[in-house]
Amino acid sequence: MLEAILLTISLDDFIWIIVGLFAMFTCLSIVVLSLTWLERKVLGRLQLRLGPTRTGPMGLMQPIADALKLILKEDIVPASSEKALFWVAPVIVVISAFMIWVTIPGTQTAVIQNLDLGLFYIIAFSVIGILGLVLAGWGSANKYGTLGGLRAAAQLISYEIPIIMVAISVAMLAQSLDLREIVDGQNDYIYVFVQPLGLVLFFIAGLAEVGRTPFDIYFAESEIVGGPFVEYSGAHWSVFFLAEYINTFAIAALMVILFLGGWSGPVLSGNWEIIWFLGKVYVVIMVIFWVRGTFPRLRIDQLMAFAWKVMVPMSFLSVVMTAVYQFYDWPAWSLTAMSSAGLAVVGLLIFKKMTAPSKLVAEVKARREALEAQRRPAASGGGD
């Protein structure tokens, strides 16, 4: 069996895979460094701060200083922890994060190994990361860790469903699961114009999938103080965050490929198109950082309710809409109309479910104002 597999791989292919993997590791590490710097700077600017300034020009060396510090720190393994699980958990998380990138193309040719079932492969591998988080929570023999691990399992599996359904509707549009063909399919119009609902669902579910604010529930700093990562320190901890940033980058890249036309753009051609790709991805990431600087965190039950009552039905709706559009061969604007209507429904649902308290608040405010108006003449009359 092994022999058969080995025979199918020529030496050239083998060398190419090794070189490609090394290149991928290097590129992703640089991307992660840039993301940590960017996040600090963007958040700093949002929060009236400067962000890092001391390490190099504009603090550009900050990620390297951080990495050095983390690697040099003592790697504490709690005595009561499940040693094997404790060690293997970050590795599982980071491997699944890296493996996704094997098949994400930067341009038509800049890809380690393009797969016909690329989208399917990515979704399948992204689920494995959850296992690492649960193991980390359980293995660290810490109650906060366990709570965080269980939250992670619940949250990530729930939000996997809308991601899959939205990905399916895009695959139906492109008639392929191959990411390169999906991008080629967007030559006439990018899919965000026909599936705005899909983009919004994918963005929200993506935020939940990588545990970004407002869905950073499984490591909620102020409640369960880091969740699965609570016992980790030094290099192990940094590996988790390496994975988190790679996942954030992957979600942004998928969004660009599925909805924003991937690397297609004017002026540039050939492999230079990767500049378009990276530019778009970084714009999406900036939006993610912006959301982080703006929103508080949801509670776990609200998060689950939102997933099952809003996200999942709407993502199924988007599949049905795409299917109807494909089957009857309607013009593209009909799907745009349907999808926009769906988006309006989502907006309405969010308004009903999540903003219901705020309507209450408006009422309360009115009541309070009425009360104060009542009180004021009485008070001033009494004073005189």
| Footprint on this chain of other proteins (rule: CB under 8 A) | 43, 46-49, 143-144, 147, 213-214, 216-217, 220-225, 292-302, 350, 354-355, 357-358, 360-361, 364, 367-368, 371-372, 375-376, 379-380, 383
- Shortest gap between Cβ of 357 and other proteins (angstroms)? 4
- Shortest gap between Cβ of 32 and other proteins (angstroms)? 21
Q: Which of 121/203 has CB closer to other proteins?
A: 203
Q: Which of 73/297 has CB closer to other proteins?
A: 297
Amino acid at 128: I
Cβ neighbors of 114 (< 8 A, separation 6 or more) are 103, 105, 178, 179, 180
- Shortest gap between Cβ of 288 and other proteins (angstroms)? 14
Q: Which of 88/287 has CB closer to other proteins?
A: 287
Q: Which of 180/212 has CB closer to other proteins?
A: 212
Q: 3-class secondary structure for the chain?
A: CHHHHHHHCCHHHHHHHHHHHHHHHHHHHHHHHHHHHHHHHHHHHHCCCCCCCCCCHHHCCHHHHHHHHHHHCCCCCCCCCCHHHHHHHHHHHHHHHHHHCCCCCCCCCCCCCCCCCHHHHHHHHHHHHHHHHHHHHHHCCCHHHHHHHHHHHHHHHHHHHHHHHHHHHHHHHHCCCCHHHHHHCCCCCCHHHCCHHHHHHHHHHHHHHCCCCCCCCCCCHHHHCCHHHCCCCHHHHHHHHHHHHHHHHHHHHHHHHHHCCCCCCCCCCHHHHHHHHHHHHHHHHHHHHHHHCCCCCCCHHHHHHHHHHHHHHHHHHHHHHHHHHHHHCCCHHHHHHHHHHHHHHHHHHHHHHCCHHHHHHHHHHHHHHHHHHHHHHHHHHHHC
Q: Which of 13/372 has CB closer to other proteins?
A: 372
- Shortest gap between Cβ of 273 and other proteins (angstroms)? 36
Q: Which of 275/292 has CB closer to other proteins?
A: 292
Measured CA to CA, the distance from residue 13 to residue 180 in angstroms comes to: 20
- Shortest gap between Cβ of 157 and other proteins (angstroms)? 16
Cβ neighbors of 10 (< 8 A, separation 6 or more) are none
Of 28, 188, 184, the residue nearest 100 (C-alpha): 28
Sole residue written with tokens 């699965």? 228
Q: Which of 5/48 has CB closer to other proteins?
A: 48
Q: Which of 188/301 has CB closer to other proteins?
A: 301
Q: Which of 70/220 has CB closer to other proteins?
A: 220
- Shortest gap between Cβ of 147 and other proteins (angstroms)? 7
Measured CA to CA, the distance from residue 55 to residue 67 in angstroms comes to: 13
Q: Which of 57/296 has CB closer to other proteins?
A: 296
- Shortest gap between Cβ of 60 and other proteins (angstroms)? 23
